[in-house]
Structure 1
Amino acid sequence: MEKVENHNIEFKKSWHDEYLKTVAAFANTDGGIIYIGYNDKGEVIGLEKSEIKKLLEDLPNKIRNKLGITLFVREEIQSGKSLLNIEISPSSFPISYDGKFYVRTGSTTQELSGIELSSFLLEKTGNSWDELPADANIDQLEEVLDKESIEKFKAIASHRLPLIDQDTTKNILQKLNLITKDGRLTRACILLFGRNPQKYFISAYSKVGRFKNNTIILDTVEVKGNLFQQLDGILEAIKKNINVMFDTSVRELSLEGVARREIWDYPLDALREAVINALVHRDYLDTSSSIEVRIYDDQIILSNPGKLMPPLTIEQLKQKHSGRQRNPLIAAVFYYANLIESWGSGTLKMIDLCKEQNLPEPEFVERKEGIGEFAVLFYKDIFNEEELRKRGLNERQIKAVKYVKEKGKITNREYQEISKISERTATRDLLDLVVKKIFVQVGSTGKGTNYILMTP
């Protein structure tokens, strides 16, 4: 059976020392095999016995001396021809070739640089971005940190950290591992409690925008401050740009007395979970991007720099899951602050809250190229275009739903006119929309019949 080049397999007709970078790439990624004596199509062409003998003697030493790793090089006979297999295991530490670092992307070998290289080296050395020291030390606590934010944290964290309200700021930070052994404040410390974190990390802020479409921006605001301040600021900016109704049939008891229940376009607790997720899990190495909240008429898109941490996948977000933390110190503090209920529960909570409000499930999207990006899409109503397609509506029916959203109702005759179809086809389409519980038929039969949207 012919082999195919992929993430873990590479074919070479013969050996050249420049292929050491491919060896390094396999070691830096998930391991793999280099087959010597194959053409690019995976067909056996073989090697001379003398060449096999020389490579078996030279390659292990050459790879060990150049790359610092030991691997298996063995001969194989295929179709009566001699081949060489170089089997490379994944390395727990970074492997360089001539001072450069390479990884496998698909079936290609790519050199790392910039943010991707920094991220790779952090991961391979077992460090996280947030635990590294910032340009501030323990003697600057009063100058650098926001006292009010620390006091608020002490108040809300007392449930999970008993007696925290009786402790000093210095002791609390040390217990949270926010001060290094040599007395420097970590990056996490500055982001969580700093007075002006953007002085140290210029892109560590968020943007909230109200969009009419992808080109027309109605309003935009930059939300700065520490992560707790950004959480509050982002949610306030969102609330200013979405609608709220009051359910007079349900009254809720609060400290201020009895109040009507608020029903927002989107469940606020679900939005809150998404914002927390972005603040905690964004890749702060990326200084060219920030957290973005894009509010449209029918949806909200909340995105942050950084793809999912392997091995977590989009599919796993829709079930109970656990995963590695990109910023473990930040995540731990948010957990102690009761902003994270349990690891891996946030995305499930978003889904459940949207369902409870008769809204479509939020959509989770990941862009894997480079440093990557993760986004959550919230849809305003169950009759958005994406949801309608999932329900099997054709383009004519989607057009009819949009028409009713704008006009309030549609008749069979109007549907025929806007879709340029026969009465028979229109009747069949409209009946299908009723069966799928998207339209409700009202009025008498015949010309007096109208179709309106079914209310959730």
Structure 2
Amino acid sequence: MTIQKLEELISRSEYEKLDFKLDFNIDKESSKREFVKDVTAIANSKGGRGYIIFGVEDKKKEIVGVTAKKIEEERIQQLICGRCDPPVPIRMEEIIYKNKKLFVLTIFKSNQRPHQILQTGTFYVRRGSTTDIARRYEVASMLQENGILSYETTILPNAYFKDLDFELLKKYFSSSFSDDYKKTILLLEATGILGRDTERSEYHPTAGGMLLFGKNPQNFLPSTGINIDYCKKRIHIEGNIPSMLDKAEEILHSYIKNENYPLNIVLEALYNAVVHRDYWDNTREITVRIEPKMIEIENPGAVWRNEGIINIDSEINPPRRNSWLYQRLLIFDKKQRFTPGTLGLKCVQDTLETKGHEVKFVNLTKKNIFKVVLPGTEEI
């Protein structure tokens, strides 16, 4: 690490990917536990590389230096490998700065998140400048992000075939659908609508199957509905995804009566929210807020790693969060709302720019929220 890079880091406040420590000591058991906990928390937090700088007082940024005589990187590597799974990729450096010796631990961006503490089975993340236990949806999101787990193909053990809309299934599968129960089960398993509980040899709807074809999905998947806020009133929509979008479209058409307003961009932002939302996060739902000066579409699930307003022209497109769901919607949605090339967020932006207006894409990683902020009904 260069002195210039070190000074840049020291000038910052602590956050998810940066921590300052007065000294470095891993002689005691308690200090070993804390060290590994901090390393895994930074590795599990969203963003690129992380750093722990030893020998710096955080508040005043006083350079105090470390008391340890030398870096024992092999010992540090062994400590991390023996206490967390999978091991976190790191590099430890000694840097002389202002006549003081500092240790800088670089925690490389990990493609194997989440990293778990072996002794306790706990997963940690950073929240601002503090280390905290990861919530269930955060662990699940990390597993899905790295291809270890898929939300959509997770079976719902309390749901059964009768909880799916048989007529809707018949309509969408048309000629492939059979009145033979065994053939139907095999077809739905092959397409991921049902999954098999191998221990009990039972078939249950998957989360994706329930979202697409469930009679009452929210009985099994809470916080998967859509809210529309208008004139201090909230309409809450429940049902499977196609039926919810049908209802939402009808309501939005009745609320947005300005003929000059391009309603299709609001709908596209809503379709995007349905496909990209973090379904593991059951603390909030998709919400459309309609105001004279602003229309906002908010969904759980930060998309990019950067915090704040995102420039989608310069950002690298993130991997699609719910690829299984998106692929099925391409096939099953008769209204072709998810056909590639129809609009997309880039086209939403371009459409508004041609009219002299702007759209804001807001990524809130700490709250796990993504927002599309459009001009209000009186602005166009």
After superposition, residues 103-118 of structure 1 pair within 5 angstroms as: 103-105=125-127, 108-118=130-140
**Residues in 1 aligned to 2:377 and 2:357: alpha-carbon distance in whole angstroms:** 8
Identity rate of aligned residues, in percent?
27
Deviates more, 1:199-208 or 1:360-369: 360-369
Matched, 1:370 2:379: no
Counterpart for residue 105 of structure 2: 86
- Of 55-64 and 20-29, the range deviating more from structure 2: 55-64
**Structure 2 vs 1, CA of residues 88 and 305 (structure 1 numbering), >3 Å: closer, same or farther?**
closer
User: Take 2:315 and 2:70, find their aligned partners in 1: how far apart are those partners?
Assistant: 53
Name the CA shift for 1:243/1:369 in 2 (closer, same or farther; >3 Å).
same
Q: 1:298 to 1:37 in 2, by over 3 A?
A: closer
Structure 1 equivalent of residue 28 of structure 2: none
Q: Hey, what does 2:195 align to over in structure 1?
A: 180
* Shift, 1:231, TM fit: 0.4
Q: How far is 1:117 from its partner?
A: 4.3
Q: What residue is the counterpart of 2:226 in the other structure?
A: 206
Tell which structure's C-alpha radius of gyration is larger: 1
Aligned-residue offset at 1:234: 0.5
Residue of structure 2 in register with 1:28 after alignment: 44
CA RMSD across the alignment: 3.6
For the structure 1 residues 193 and 382, does the alpha-carbon distance in structure 2 shift closer, same or farther, using more than 3 Å as the test? same
Alignment of 1:217-366 (within 5 A): 217=232, 219-243=233-257, 264-310=259-305, 315-317=310-312, 322-336=317-331, 337=333, 338-342=336-340, 345-354=343-352, 358=355, 360-366=357-363
Q: Which runs of 5+ in 1 are unaligned?
A: 155-164, 212-216, 245-263, 384-456
Change over 3 Å in CA distance of 1:37–1:313 after alignment to 2: closer
Residue in 2 that maps onto 1:435: none
1:46 deviates by 3.8
Unmatched runs of 5 consecutive residues or more in structure 2: 26-30, 178-183, 198-202
Alpha-carbon distance change, 266 to 128 in structure 1, aligned in 2, over 3 angstroms: farther
Query: SS state of the match for residue 298, structure 2?
Result: strand
More helix by share: 1
**Cα distance in structure 2, aligned partners of 1:114 and 1:181:** 23
Q: Distance in 2 between matches of 1:176 and 1:221?
A: 33
> Using the alignment, how far apart are the partners of 1:231 and 1:342 within structure 2?
18
Q: SS of the counterpart of 1:135? A: coil
1:404: which partner in 2?
A: none
**Alignment-derived partner of residue 116 in structure 2:** 96
Contact 1:318–1:347 (Cα < 8 Å) also in 2: no
Given that residues 310 and 324 in structure 1 are in contact (C-alpha distance below 8 angstroms), is that contact kept between their aligned partners in structure 2?
A: no
Deviations 1:136-177 (A, max 9, x none): 67xx43x222234335545xxxxxxxxxx4312656644543
Q: Which amino acid aligns with 1:119?
A: S
User: When the two structures are aligned, how many residues end up with a matched partner?
Assistant: 342
Please say if residues 291 and 376 of structure 2, whose CA atoms lie closer than 8 Å, have aligned partners that are also in contact: no
Report deviation, 1:277. 1.4
User: Contact conserved, 1:292 with 1:303, CA < 8 A, in 2?
Assistant: yes
SS in 1 for 2:346: helix
Q: What's the offset of the Cα at 1:188?
A: 0.8
- Separation in structure 1 between the aligned mates of residue 279 and residue 353 of structure 2, nearest angstrom: 32
Partner SS for 1:347: helix
Structure 1 residue 186, shift from structure 2 partner: 1.3
Change in CA separation of 1:359 and 1:84 when aligned onto 2, cut-off 3 Å: closer
Amino acid at match of 2:338: I
User: The residue matched to 2:157 in structure 1 has which SS?
Assistant: strand
Q: Does residue 144 of the first structure (1) align with residue 163 of the second (2)?
A: yes
Say which structure, 1 or 2, has more relative contact order (CA 8 Å, 6+ apart): 2
Aligned counterpart, 1:256? none
User: Once the two structures are superposed, what CA deviation does each residue of 1:69-118 show, in whole Å capped at 9, x if it has no partner?
Assistant: 36444544456654444343333132234443323455554442354344
Q: Which residue of 1 aligns with 2:210?
A: 190
One-letter amino acid matched to 1:67: C
For residue 130 of structure 1, give the secondary structure of its aligned residue in structure 2: coil
Preserved CA contact (<8 Å) 2:294 2:373: no
- What is the deviation of 1:226? 0.6
* TM-score (norm: length of structure 1): 0.63
Q: State the Cα deviation string for residues 213-250 of structure 1 (Å, max 9, x = none).
A: xxxx2x44222211000000001111222326xxxxxx
Q: 1:366·1:373 contact (CA, 8 Å) conserved in 2?
A: yes
Quick one: structure 1 residues 77 and 341, their matched pair in 2 at CA, closer, same or farther if it must change by over 3 Å? Answer: same
